[in-house]
Structure formats: C-alpha cells, structure tokens
Amino acid sequence: MPLIRTELADCIGWIAFDNYAKRNVLSAPLIAEVLAALDSFRKESVRAVIVRSAVQEKVWSAGHDVEELPKADLDPLPYDDPLEQLLRAVKDFPAPVIAMVQGSVCGGACDLVMACDMVFGDETCSFAITPAKIGLPYNLAGFLNFMSRLPLAVVKEMFFTAEP
C-alpha cells in the first residue's frame, strides 16, 4: 500500500503524505517513495512541487520514525540517513519545492519544511522540535538549517522548549 499519493497537473507535481495511521511519520519506506516521486518530477521538468498531507487532520507529519534512529552515542542523523537524503534532494531540486502545511509538524518534519523553498500554512499549523522531550540530541546539520531560515530567538525557543 503506497504511503504517499502523487499527481502531476499543469506542470505542478503534488506529493501528499498518506499514512495517517502512523501520523505520516518520515519512515525509510515513505521517504523512498518521496525520493522516487521527486526523481519522476525532475524527469517531467515540473515547474514546482507541492508537499502536503493527503488528509486535513491534526498532524502534517510526526517527524522522523524514532524506531529507525541510530543507537545511542552515534550521530543522531548520519549523512546517509534516509531523512538526510530527502533533505538534500529537496534542497537540490531544480524547481521550487513548496510545503503546504495543515496541522502539527514535529521533529524531522520541521527539517523537511525548512528545506523547502517556500512554506504556506493555515491557522492549524504548528511546529515543534520534539527530540528534546525524549532525550535525543538534534543533529548539527538540522540545527544549522533552522539557524539559516529563522531568527535566533525563535530557534532557541523551539529547541529549548520542544513546545509548538
């Protein structure tokens, strides 16, 4: 069963997370499907890609699949981690990648949103860096990604409080 839905219409590629039973967690299988969709859209020379949730629920994405995180004492998100590969693919995509956010965005999904060229959110959207709540360090690349996109005070509040 696919974890995402894709559509190509009027030179716009659409990627919709469709695994709400698991809160659209960014698991390796879901990320593999998104990477394949981006590759397909690249070949079609789309003018933009929109990333969204397939249903209007309370959660856009719960973030990185914690069951797939490396063991303690290792880099929390090494270079070859599927999420890191996705972030690089989004940043390197030749057309704008737009996050269309409804509901909450947690942990690694915040990284994905920050990697996008533009972000549009409705009144229900909220963002939380939640690894601190479960005692996990945040990876340096992700932290620097936030530092380059948001004011320092906002970054500190997000990382220190883990609150939306």
Query: What ranges do the domains of the chain cover?
Result: 4-161
Residue 53 backbone dihedrals phi, psi, to 5 degrees:
-90, 145
CATH classification code of 4-161? 3.90.226.10
pLDDT of residue 3: 97
Alpha carbon distance 102, 119 (integer Å) = 11
Q: Is 128 helix (H, G, I), strand (E, B) or coil?
A: strand
Task: Determine which one of 13, 103, 108, 142 is catalytic.
Answer: 108
Residue 138 known to be catalytic: yes
Would you say residue 90 has pLDDT above 60? yes
Residue type, 74: L
- Given the residues 63, 103, 107, 138, select the one marked as catalytic: 138
CA distance linking residue 145 with residue 97, whole number of Å: 16
Q: Is 108 a catalytic residue?
A: yes
The one catalytic residue in 63, 64, 103, 142 is 64
pLDDT value of position 13? 98
pLDDT of residue 38 exceeding 90: yes
Query: pLDDT per residue over 44-79, tens digit each?
Result: 999 999 999 988 788 999 998 878 776 665 656 677
Q: Which of 15, 149, 134 is nearest to 66 (CA)?
A: 134
- Residue 79 annotated in active site: no
Q: Kindly state the DSSP code that residue 3 receives in the 8-state scheme.
A: S
